[in-house]
């Protein structure tokens, strides 16, 4: 995806997110995020947007340079989070994607933040819509890019389980281009390639459902599972972070 598409995704998904949270009480549960209320979800998104807005706008090279912000009262939270989202959008729009900044990933540049915030916001918009009793999938092209980001950027992170999947899984988006093969090597690490190839198992479905399954929002029942179901379920269990 192009820079303009990521910027548009951050803007559009943010607007939809705030429309959803404004439509329900702050104490409403978020079914896809156990133990969270809409207030918790709103604080999380505001905190994340504010953090990366500071990193981007100030070209920070350490997360320790970002000032901690106390959680505001519930009646001030919507305005507080909205302000931080506006600052994020402005910072990303003004920054050269090649600008060097701190990130937790090997890619130390604004381009990483731009892509990450597009997908972070899209998934949490889906969470907010679910809390509001709505069901709107993530745009297929954005979701396919989100699957690619998840498999190549998020999956290697230590936050995920290192339990073996004992096989290979082919993931195939059925509504937009996007195919990946996840293979376990002898040392237990996972290798991801973008290709049409046969795995021990396959997960097929709309890109939005693939992305939401990887993020633990949906189970394998939301997808077509072909081949060794246990291998596919072990991959999803390994990647689920809620």
Going from N- to C-terminal start, the domains of the chain cover 3-131, 140-239
CATH architecture of 140-239: 2-Layer Sandwich (3.30)
For residue 4, the SS3 value is helix
Average pLDDT over the chain reads 95
pLDDT digits (tens, 9 = 90+) for 57-103: 999 999 999 988 889 999 999 999 999 999 999 999 999 999 999 99
Pick the CATH number of 3-131 from 2.60.40, 1.10.3470, 1.20.120, 3.40.50: 1.20.120
pLDDT value, residue 242: 46
The burial class, CB within 10 Å (0-12 / 13-18 / 19+), for 114 is buried
Give the global pTM: 0.96
pLDDT at 213 exceeding the cut of 90? yes
Q: Which residue has the tokens 């130390």?
A: 108
Q: Which residues pair with 230 in a beta bridge?
A: none
Q: How far apart are CA 96 and CA 206, in angstroms?
A: 32
């Amino acid at each position: 995806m192009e820079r303009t598409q990521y910027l548009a995704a951050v803007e559009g998904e943010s607007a939809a997110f705030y429309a959803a949270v404004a439509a329900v009480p702050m104490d409403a549960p978020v079914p896809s995020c156990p133990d969270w209320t809409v207030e918790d979800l709103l604080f999380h998104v505001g905190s994340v947007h504010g953090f990366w807005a500071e990193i981007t706008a100030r070209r920070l090279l350490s997360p320790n340079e970002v000032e901690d912000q106390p959680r505001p009262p519930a009646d001030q939270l919507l305005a507080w989070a909205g302000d931080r989202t506006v600052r994020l959008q402005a910072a990303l729009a003004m920054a050269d994607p090649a600008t060097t900044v701190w990130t937790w990933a090997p890619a130390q540049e604004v381009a990483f933040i731009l892509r990450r915030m597009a997908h972070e916001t899209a998934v949490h918009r889906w969470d907010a819509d679910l809390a509001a009793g709505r069901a709107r999938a993530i745009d297929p092209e954005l979701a396919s890019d989100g699957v690619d980001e998840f498999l190549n950027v998020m999956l290697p992170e230590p936050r995920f389980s290192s339990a073996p999947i004992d096989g290979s899984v082919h993931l195939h988006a059925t509504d937009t281009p996007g195919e990946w093969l996840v293979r376990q090597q002898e040392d237990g690490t996972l290798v991801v390639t973008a290709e049409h190839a046969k795995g021990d198992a396959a997960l097929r479905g709309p890109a939005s459902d693939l992305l939401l399954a990887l993020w633990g929002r949906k189970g394998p029942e939301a997808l077509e599972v072909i081949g060794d179901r246990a291998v596919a379920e072990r991959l999803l269990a390994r990647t689920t972070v809620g």
